[in-house]
Structure 1
Amino acid sequence: MPSITIPNLRNPITPTRSVTNVGINVVVRLETLVFNSTVKTISFSVAVSTTYRVNTAYFFRSLTWTDGVHAVTIFMSLIHTLMDSDTRRNRMCRQNNYSLVVLALCLLQHYLHVSVTFVNATSEVHIVYLGEKKYDDPALTKKFHHKMLTTLLGSKQDAYRSIIYSYKYGFSGFAARLTESQAEEIAGVWPESESFNDDAMGPIPSHWKGICQQGEYFNSTNCNKKIIGARWFRKGAMNQFQNLNKTDNVDFLSPRDGIGHGTHTASTAAGYFVKNANYRGLASGLARGGAPLAHLAIYKACWAFEGCTDADLLKAFDKAIHDGVDIISLSVGNEIPLFSYVDQRDSIAIGSFHAMTKGITVVCSAGNDGPISQTIVNTAPWLITVAATTIDRAFPTAITLGNNQTLWGQSIDAGKYNREFASITYSERTQQMIQRETYSFVSIIILVYLFVYVPCVTIFHVTSSKDCQPGSLNATLASGKIVLCFSKSDQQDIESAATTVKDAGGVGLIFAQFRDDGLSSCDIPCISVDYEVGTQILSYIRRARHSIAKLSDPKTTIGKWVSPRVASFSARGPSSMTPEVLKPDIAAPGVDIIAAFRPLDTEHRSGYALLSGTSMACPHVAGIAALIKSAHPNWSPAAIKSALVTTGKS
């Protein structure tokens, strides 16, 4: 209801107003619930419809049942979505659609605060989120969870077997194995890295409650005054992916990092000083995190194959709140939300909200699905959402053409170039012959469609070899040559293109892409160029009778490239769910970032990797937030966020 402003109030005023129904209709079936000694569970439905168009949003309401003495209140979250046009055409009645998910446990003798239930349709693990804790004692909170499950399942034994997590420190809730009918009622660290050396580190904070949880190739001796806590959470993943064969994946059932992502981001946020850090001889220098003297606690809730489950993420938040962290850096995001759709299972938003209420600042990555608008994730207003930018460090690599023209790209594949001329060709010259026939066939069909009206136009997609899609190159024509490829708008990555060229017998790749995309190492020499340089090379290939080129080793330069620029892959706002909340909040370095990595292969033998993504940008801001918290320990998360977004400069 709109507010009324009465300026300069001196005398009593009685305002009057008229209220008009905006067109939302609510119908409850049944209207009366009758319980007795044999009838203990009764189902009812709540139907919501609208007469007029309603903006996409959350609507929080409650429904109270009472017999005059006892009351049961059910809190409901209505999520308004718009049906697509095809669905509307198939319905006789065009109404806006609401989804309502409620867990209702009706008890005659107790007031019950019932919350939204988050359901994963493909899993037997269901998260029951209950909001703020009802009890300060975690044991009482856990007992309350067991009591709820006992009421639902019928026995204490079934309740204890069903529950896999009890969220009892920062907020209240639990994760349990439930059937669909019952339910209707993310990486760790590599501790040996020099970035986690505890030289000159101060004592462990007295308020710290965390532990170093043991597991595969990890025990309490892997912690020190730098890494003061480490936990791992896998019960949600184990129950959701019960047939998973762990031997197929390089990971460890412990806080130890089998992927490298967590080690990279942790050292970016708070890695200690390391001299002569480099990636395969490139960019050698002093490495340090944003807050090099900050303590680190690792919460591994994401896994090599399964990714991150809501159950594990929420438990990680729950434990982090209990342990006493000050800043949470989370380089994880959900899938891009569909337009006019609100995801009920946003465990990051839920967990971070409760962390925020405890004075913990939460920093998250914005996502890597740019440059399209409305692709941003982690848009809750209490989060600090970080976009990725370029930096002024570059790895220029010379491309010498047969006409003695030298053009420049970038590469991080030092030591792979033989510095000799080789034939160079454009990828469309090496395409499979069957595709040429397909082009002609499709062209004829499209011509017919141009002159014949049809009520529904069919769009034919033809795979082109110009972006080096897998299987698109003719090995006879590409063998022994350097191949020029162009990235399409859907961002075909350079690694995949290099694999295609290698499989076709090619000896090198020149890949034209957005300048602000990150670099990657390839199995063959590969150089990234912008589209302008790519077009110049293509013009040479088409003019020359025998086109040749030579690829040189990359070098390292600083300060010669215009930066920062927002990376092309960095997700853009506004959020389709909450466009009134400006996101992202801030941008930080996220392109070609060198940081600690797990040394499990020859490419990363130095213990460092060069990665790009908003995952790399997020810990930069988290480190700065830690410095602010250290200087102003009484500042709230809102104050820290305000200081960052209003005073941050490049």
Structure 2
Amino acid sequence: MAKLAASSFILSCVVLFFSSISAVADEDKKVYIVYMGSLSSRADYTPMSHHMSILQEVTGESSIEGRLVRSYTRSFNGFVARLTESERENVAKMEGVVSVFPNKMLQLQTTASWDFMGLKEGKGTKRNPSMESDTIIGVLDGGIWPESESFSDKGFSPPPKKWKGVCSGGKNFTCNKKLIGARDYKSEGTRDIDGHGTHTASTAAGNAVADTSFFGIGNGTVRGGVPAARIAAYKVCTSAGCPLDAILSGFDDAIADGVDLITISIGGQAAANFEKDSIAIGAFHAMAKGILTVNAAGNNGPKARTVSAVAPWILSVAASTTNRGFVTKVVLGNGTTLVGKSVNAFDLKGKKYPLVYGKSAQNSSSSDCQKYPEYTGLCVYSCINKTRVEGKILVCGGDGGVRLAKSAGAIAVIFKPAIPEVATIHSLPASGLQAKDFESLVSYIESTDSPQATVLKTETIFNQTSPVIASFSSRGPNPIAPDIVKPDITAPGVEILAAYSPDAEHDTRQVKYSVLSGTSMACPHIAGVAAYIKTFYPKWSPSMIQSAIMTTAWLVNATGTGIASTEFAYGAGHVNPIAALNPGLVYELDKADHIAFLCGMNYTSDILKIISGESVTCSQKNETLPRNLNYPSMSAKLSGSDKNYTVTFNRTLTNVGTPSSTYKSTVVAGHGSKLTVEVMPSVLTFKTVNEKQSFRVTVTGSDLDPELPSSANLIWSDGTHNVRSPIVIYAVTDDSSSSHHCHHK
């Protein structure tokens, strides 16, 4: 399966909360907490807007992207920001600022990314145990390992009465009161022999399991977002891939079985038209039955237009970092220490071994090596002379040599990885070095008669800037529906420790918990958050839950430049589970809205029937522009020739907060050229819960940069709730979409 997992392709584990705010990459900026005392009781006061305006004033920058880390708006007033020393001094002098002090790292001793997101177990987190126990998450993946402690049914009551599924897991497979259902679509049994399905299921809803680690690395308590929820496993993937028919069968059964939510970390190399996308079709039917589908965005970033989960009735998830990471140091013979990335549990006890690289390991008789001399540095199999590698540390200029190092008799391997910020697991001591450090290593080898080194065991660090979007996470714009921003949200997806299949290791080791990275790992985090919200609001529709998650998200940083560093990398931002439980207002959508949206995209009746499963006739003059779908974000793709432009968006908000409340709108600048945004009406007054109020957003601007979208944030605030929607205007040429191929993400 093409995925981020296993061997040199396992992009690996772990996490934590309070310090998503660590040291910044910019040496002249540090992370400071700006404390502003109690919240103002003024009706017109909006904390987040105030925080943004303070930063804009003190930095002189219209966009504070990358500056504001987090706002405190519920129990007290304040924010966290990246500031220079002079900026810190100026902020401290401003009216209303009580104090400004540097952030410190608090190391929570747990492996749970849920703590990083603020959803802490047993530490004041609000729970609804009876409803959580009644919640069923359907996992469409590569199966599950039923004996894992993460799926033990100790203390569980019988399955909910609404459950209509079966346990058809195959030979030697048993369900229980936690893992209540299993289905297999390839006659191999539902048992997971790959690890991926077990990992995603436990991340969403696994039990809390203490003293868990990968051979001592990342030791702590592993748990899912809703540990009391039930799991139903639908094995739609095998080692050969994930057939479209199996995926549709999984959706069909899961919906009929009575699941409350579906998480599916599967997708194509590129987005497909909705009528050819089995996930989009299955998710449409799930949506019509009140079931939200959460789907991984893809692992083909940071290139633009690589996101594959693009339907608006799907919650599409990008992957980002936490404050916790793994590093593996390399110590050279001259005492120099280079810091690399891997998950290395092997202990060389500090003993140094000879280094071999390039021509020193070359197979001189290989025609490939003679024809392509660059192969020698990359450790291509046909160019390696095993007798020159045995008993030494092999140095490779790419990932390829990692797989052959052990078979060639190497003691360890040091390499330059394709994704240098991610720690991976290997079958021998290994460390992946950033380009600069790898160049230093090569220089040392070439300038030393007998170069030596050792690879140390992995260490855990807690001071990395986060959340930052992973470079591998797929980006927008949306190649199928250009006026819908995708991905929608980001969640932890780098170095996540969760349950695993003991049969899945590619060396002699067997483990019950392992470290993986990918949007596959981010997806079940959002599924867990969605299930958490549903335990308090069981009658909320999928769109209400999606809106609550998106409009309460944190702002984040994205790696890369241009489109790769904008909303097309992270959507609305980083999930904030606690805030999502109290969004104040939501954008609601139903089946009819989505059909009108498809009509607006000029889909024919025949194609609409494929997607919706019923006969649909669009009006001859359809007035519904796709950008007017009542979505929590707003976007418009324009022609690059539009020097001056005006774009309108129509939206409706539903009050799910205080019965009598008044929300005022504020617009804060984002990326690119400045947008002029008018909101009419600018104030919305609600008298009852579930009351709806409509508004129109008019955006004007000029000189769109084809390489960088222009954006802003619309915030509706009643002084307690901040309902934020990104607005993105862009002009980018289309890439032709390729065919849909199923694979794990």
Q: Is TM-score (shorter-chain normalized) higher than 0.5? A: yes
Matching residue's letter, 2:519? T
Question: Which residue of the partner structure matches residue 448 of structure 2?
Answer: 544
Measured after TM superposition, the shift of residue 476 of structure 1 is 4.5
| CA deviation vs aligned residue, 1:121-141 (integer Å, no higher than 9, x gap) | xxxxxxxxxxxxxxxxxxxxx
Measured after TM superposition, the shift of residue 272 of structure 1 is 0.5
Question: Which residue of the partner structure matches residue 434 of structure 2?
Answer: 530
1:618 paired residue among 523, 530, 539:
523
Matching residue's letter, 1:329? T
2-side partners of 1:567 and 1:469: how far apart?
A: 27
| CA deviation vs aligned residue, 1:278-303 (integer Å, no higher than 9, x gap) | 11121110110011111111111212
Question: Which residue of the partner structure matches residue 216 of structure 1?
Answer: 171
Question: Which residue of the partner structure matches residue 270 of structure 2?
Answer: 336
1:348 paired residue among 279, 282, 288:
279
Closer, same or farther: CA 371–428 of 1 in aligned 2, 3 Å: farther
| CA deviation vs aligned residue, 1:467-504 (integer Å, no higher than 9, x gap) | 323323233543432222233xxxxx4xx422233344
1:314 paired residue among 244, 248, 251:
248
Question: Which residue of the partner structure matches residue 395 of structure 1?
Answer: 326
What CA RMSD, in Å, does the superposition of the two structures yield over aligned residues?
2.4
2-side partners of 1:516 and 1:383: how far apart?
A: 30
Pairing 1:3-82 to 2, within 5 Å after superposition: none
- Contact 1:386/1:621 (<8 A) preserved: yes
1-side partners of 2:549 and 2:458: how far apart?
A: 36
Matching residue's letter, 2:302? P
Closer, same or farther: CA 377–477 of 1 in aligned 2, 3 Å: same
1:380 paired residue among 297, 300, 311:
311
Closer, same or farther: CA 329–539 of 1 in aligned 2, 3 Å: same
Partner SS, residue 459 of structure 2? coil
Pairing 1:217-256 to 2, within 5 Å after superposition: 217-218=172-173, 222-234=174-186, 253-256=188-191
2-side partners of 1:504 and 1:380: how far apart?
A: 47
- Contact 2:328/2:455 (<8 A) preserved: yes
Pairing 1:587-602 to 2, within 5 Å after superposition: 587-600=490-503
- Contact 2:318/2:490 (<8 A) preserved: yes
1-side partners of 2:382 and 2:552: how far apart?
A: 50
Identity of counterpart residues, as a percentage?
42
Pairing 1:437-586 to 2, within 5 Å after superposition: 464-487=375-398, 493=399, 496-513=400-417, 517-557=421-461, 559-586=462-489
| CA deviation vs aligned residue, 1:77-98 (integer Å, no higher than 9, x gap) | xxxxxxxxxxxxxxxxxxxxxx
2-side partners of 1:258 and 1:362: how far apart?
A: 25
Partner SS, residue 414 of structure 2? strand
2-side partners of 1:550 and 1:258: how far apart?
A: 33
Partner SS, residue 465 of structure 2? coil
- Contact 2:269/2:306 (<8 A) preserved: no
1:260 paired residue among 180, 183, 195:
195
- Contact 2:475/2:487 (<8 A) preserved: yes
Closer, same or farther: CA 402–196 of 1 in aligned 2, 3 Å: same
Question: Which residue of the partner structure matches residue 628 of structure 1?
Answer: 533
2-side partners of 1:380 and 1:197: how far apart?
A: 35
Matching residue's letter, 2:213? N
| CA deviation vs aligned residue, 1:571-609 (integer Å, no higher than 9, x gap) | 222232333221111111112211111223676634111
Matching residue's letter, 1:231? R
Measured after TM superposition, the shift of residue 646 of structure 1 is 1.8
Q: Which structure would you say has the larger RCO, counting Cα contacts within 8 Å and 6 or more residues apart? A: 2
Question: Which residue of the partner structure matches residue 228 of structure 2?
Answer: 293
Q: Say whether residues 1:325 and 2:259 are aligned partners.
A: yes
> What is the aligned residue count?
413
Structure with max Cα Rg: 1
Q: Say whether residues 1:640 and 2:549 are aligned partners.
A: no
2-side partners of 1:417 and 1:473: how far apart?
A: 24
| CA deviation vs aligned residue, 1:442-485 (integer Å, no higher than 9, x gap) | xxxxxxxxxxxxxxxxxxx8762323233232335434322222
Question: Which residue of the partner structure matches residue 345 of structure 2?
Answer: 414
Deviates more, 1:223-232 or 1:322-331: 223-232
| CA deviation vs aligned residue, 1:507-532 (integer Å, no higher than 9, x gap) | 22111235655333323211122222
Measured after TM superposition, the shift of residue 429 of structure 1 is 4.4
Closer, same or farther: CA 484–563 of 1 in aligned 2, 3 Å: farther
Question: Which residue of the partner structure matches residue 163 of structure 1?
Answer: none
Unaligned runs of 5+ in 2: 1-140, 555-573, 575-745
Deviates more, 1:284-293 or 1:409-418: 409-418
1:370 paired residue among 301, 304, 310:
301
Pairing 1:20-169 to 2, within 5 Å after superposition: none
Unaligned runs of 5+ in 1: 1-185, 236-252, 442-460, 488-492
Measured after TM superposition, the shift of residue 415 of structure 1 is 2.7
- Contact 1:516/1:568 (<8 A) preserved: no
2-side partners of 1:475 and 1:257: how far apart?
A: 35
Matching residue's letter, 2:339? W
Q: Say whether residues 1:187 and 2:142 are aligned partners.
A: yes
- Contact 1:471/1:500 (<8 A) preserved: no
Closer, same or farther: CA 437–465 of 1 in aligned 2, 3 Å: closer
Measured after TM superposition, the shift of residue 207 of structure 1 is 1.8
- Contact 1:516/1:567 (<8 A) preserved: no
Partner SS, residue 625 of structure 1? helix
Closer, same or farther: CA 358–479 of 1 in aligned 2, 3 Å: same
Question: TM-score of the superposition, structure 2-length normalised?
Answer: 0.52
1-side partners of 2:401 and 2:369: how far apart?
A: 22
Measured after TM superposition, the shift of residue 618 of structure 1 is 0.7
- Contact 1:280/1:603 (<8 A) preserved: no
2-side partners of 1:535 and 1:516: how far apart?
A: 14
Deviates more, 1:397-406 or 1:516-525: 516-525
| CA deviation vs aligned residue, 1:324-361 (integer Å, no higher than 9, x gap) | 11110001112324xxx747431111000010111101
- Contact 1:428/1:464 (<8 A) preserved: no
Matching residue's letter, 1:469? V
Partner SS, residue 537 of structure 1? helix
Measured after TM superposition, the shift of residue 377 of structure 1 is 0.9
Question: Which residue of the partner structure matches residue 361 of structure 1?
Answer: 292
1-side partners of 2:440 and 2:297: how far apart?
A: 35
2-side partners of 1:523 and 1:207: how far apart?
A: 45
1-side partners of 2:205 and 2:220: how far apart?
A: 17
Closer, same or farther: CA 517–227 of 1 in aligned 2, 3 Å: same
Closer, same or farther: CA 468–566 of 1 in aligned 2, 3 Å: farther
Closer, same or farther: CA 608–330 of 1 in aligned 2, 3 Å: same
- Contact 1:517/1:569 (<8 A) preserved: no
Matching residue's letter, 2:416? A
Partner SS, residue 258 of structure 1? coil
Partner SS, residue 308 of structure 1? coil
- Contact 1:473/1:501 (<8 A) preserved: no
- Contact 1:399/1:408 (<8 A) preserved: yes
1-side partners of 2:321 and 2:377: how far apart?
A: 27
Question: Which residue of the partner structure matches residue 270 of structure 1?
Answer: 205
- Contact 1:398/1:409 (<8 A) preserved: yes
1-side partners of 2:376 and 2:219: how far apart?
A: 37
